[in-house]
Amino acid sequence: MQCMPIALHQLPDDIDALKSLVADQLARNEQLTTENQRYKVQVLTLTEQLNLALARRYAASSEKLSPDQICLFDEAELDGEAVPDTDAEADDDEIMVAAHKRKQRGRKPIPAHLPRIDVIHELPESMRHCDHDGRLLTEIDEVISEQLDIIPAKIRVIRHIRKKYACDCGQCIKTAPLPAQPIPKSMASPGLLAHITVSKYQDALPLYRQETILQRIGVDLPRATLANWMIKAGHLVQPLINLMQERLLSYDILQMDETTVQVLKESGRRAQSKSYLWLQRGGPPEHPVVLYHYDPGRGAGVATRLLEGFKGYLQTDGYDGYNAVVASNHLTHVGCMAHARRRFHDAVKAQGRHKTRGKAHRGLTLIQKLYRVEKQARNLEPEKRHAHRQRHARPILDEMRAWLDQVLPQVPPTSATGKALYYLHNEWDKLIRYLDDGRLEIDNNAAENAIRPFVIGRKNWLFSDSVKGVTASANLYSLIETAKANGLEPYAYLRYLFTELPK
């Protein structure tokens, strides 16, 4: 309803009538002020959403602040470095960077363990004479340079020739036994199985592309056969997975994460339904264990089942599906500072051209300070790491808490900055819990990094056909990621397993 202006001669002379008119105007003014504030919040939210969408599409994805942004808050430390061409041969020339000299990086040496083939380049006889007096030159040295070469994949046939022996009596015939095979009566050797497994689960190469690669080198193996081999290989390693699960739960620090997977043939569910792959990372630090688990759901019951018998620290993101098992098992819940950082990073992007000012940038700067403390303490023993955090990280967190209490009432909860601030506020106790034990991490990135190979692979193969297939995939991903976490080469590790487990 629009209010028409009132001329002075139209105002009533009665005082009570004037009071009533003023009261109506004040109420209307309050209503318009409230509506105006709501519209401002809507405009802010929509503007942030637009800026964030544009930033995600066109801007750099790194969560680090640029040096120019950091200096606005008087930060002296700069993380960025110019990266030279690592293939170019370079001398150790000194180059000037901010505040100090740094030696320019040259090409990394070729690993010494790789086999070498010597190719001798002789000086032609016509050039082996001195240009001045014609005398014959004498060999004094060699100049050696190295190149990397590659031998494309070759496939071979292993012929198992089993000797047969017989007695002249005609009743006794003995044949040498065939070694136990990973897949009985199959043409797949341990080496071929390991190669297909690593190609799919580490290199994200779908089976249909492996089929065409094998055809190119002269072998016709349908993808259905390859898929069947993967299912059987995943079943073969199940006893080892069970042992790894026991080792995982026996240690008192565990990280978890989860992501979606689509399974086409799942009983009682539509093919378009989302299922989940749960990841657990833990075990002794010297021998970490990484396990994937498939489940149709993401409910609290799954977390309870996976954590049966576990006691200690559980580190996750802000997903509340873990709260029930934390309470029932009396676990200590540790949060993920990377998730808080990500929200402030998005809020900075959402501010568009004003991103170097304001609360979002201040929050991100404080979190970056915490990560610099972690970088300094990375290689310390747990006790020293704990002490280092108490000395350097706790004052930053105290400053952050005081700042958070001050600015939280000033920001609309639905804005990008508001969401970041309220996440920080709601998760605060979990986020600072890493200060209690030097063995704990500031974030859940180790679990997120372990689940990333599956996410990358999912972009290529999109879905799993069956529950058996996704369960086998979870087992094989578990072995590869555990091997990598322990410094083992995945192909050699899997080849060894596929050779020894059948025995």
Give pLDDT tens digits for 17-27.
777 878 888 88
296 against 354, higher pLDDT: 296
Q: CB neighbours (10 Å) of residue 454?
A: 19
Q: How confident is the model at residue 62 (pLDDT cuts 50, 70, 90)?
A: low
pLDDT per residue as tens digits for the range 138-183? 999 999 999 999 988 888 999 999 999 999 888 899 999 999 999 9
Enumerate the H helices of 291-437 as residue ranges: 300-306, 323-328, 337-350, 359-376, 382-407, 416-426, 428-431
Binned at pLDDT 50, 70 and 90, residue 77 comes out as very low
pLDDT at 306: 96
Residue 357 confidence (pLDDT): 66
**The predicted structure's pLDDT at residue 118:** 95
Query: For 179-217, how does the pLDDT look when each residue is reduced to its tens digit (9 = 90+)?
Result: 999 999 999 999 999 999 999 999 999 999 999 999 998
| Predicted pLDDT at 159 | 94
- Residue 41's pLDDT is 72
Q: Is residue 78 very low, low, confident or very high in pLDDT (cuts 50, 70, 90)?
A: very low
| pLDDT at position 84 | 45
Please compute the mean of the pLDDT values over residues 316-321 and round it to a whole number.
91
3-state secondary structure labels for all residues of 230-261: HHHHHHHCHHHHHHHHHHHHHCCEEEEEEEEE
Spatial separation of the C-alpha atoms in residues 372 and 25, rounded to whole Å: 56
- Least reliable range by pLDDT among 104-113, 327-336, 356-365: 104-113
Question: Residue 328 half-sphere exposure, CB side, CA atoms within 13 Å?
Answer: 14
pLDDT of the residue at 67: 46
Q: Sorting pLDDT into bands at 50, 70 and 90, what band is 484?
A: very high
**Residue 54: is its pLDDT beyond 80?**
no
Give me the pLDDT at residue 479, please. Answer: 98
- Name the token pair of 238: 């199940």
Q: pLDDT band at 87, cuts 50/70/90?
A: low
The residues facing 257 across adjacent strands are: 279
The length of the chain in residues reads: 503
Average confidence (pLDDT) over 277-303? 94
More confident of the two residues 153 and 465: 153
pLDDT band at 1 (very low <50, low <70, confident <90, very high): very low
Give the model's pLDDT for residue 31: 83
Q: Which of helix, strand or coil describes residue 218?
A: coil
Answer with the residue of higher pLDDT: 98 or 430.
430
Q: Which residue has the higher pLDDT, 465 or 499?
A: 499
Tokens read off for 102: 């740094």
Q: Is the pLDDT of residue 92 over 50?
A: no
Is residue 289 over pLDDT 90?
yes
Return d(Cα 220, Cα 97) in angstroms, integer: 56
- DSSP 3-state assignment of 217? coil
- Residue 351's pLDDT band (cuts 50, 70, 90): confident
66 in helix, strand or coil? coil
What is the tens place of the pLDDT at every residue in 123-133? 999 999 999 99
Look up the pTM and report it. 0.76
Per-residue pLDDT, 81? 38
Residue 91 pLDDT more than 80? no
**pLDDT number for residue 457:** 81
Give bridge partners of residue 290 from the DSSP assignment.
281
**For residue 295, pLDDT beyond 80:** yes
Can you give the pLDDT at residue 79?
A: 39
Q: Which of 34-38, 218-222, 353-357, 454-458 has the lowest mean pLDDT?
A: 353-357
Residue 454 has a pLDDT of 86
Which residues, 6 or more positions from 33, have their beta carbon under 8 angstroms from its beta carbon? none
Residue 314, φ and ψ in degrees, nearest 5: -115, 120
Question: Among 259-268, 463-472, 485-494, which is the least confidently predicted range?
Answer: 259-268
pLDDT band, residue 460 (cuts 50/70/90) = confident
The rounded Cα 284 to chain-centroid distance in angstroms is: 20
The residue with greater pLDDT, 39 or 450, is: 450
Coil, helix or strand for 102?
strand
> pLDDT band at 45, cuts 50/70/90?
confident
What are the pLDDT digits (tens) for 216-252? 988 999 999 999 999 999 999 999 999 999 999 999 9
In the numeric block, which tokens belong to residue 388?
Answer: 């280092």
Average pLDDT, the chain: 86
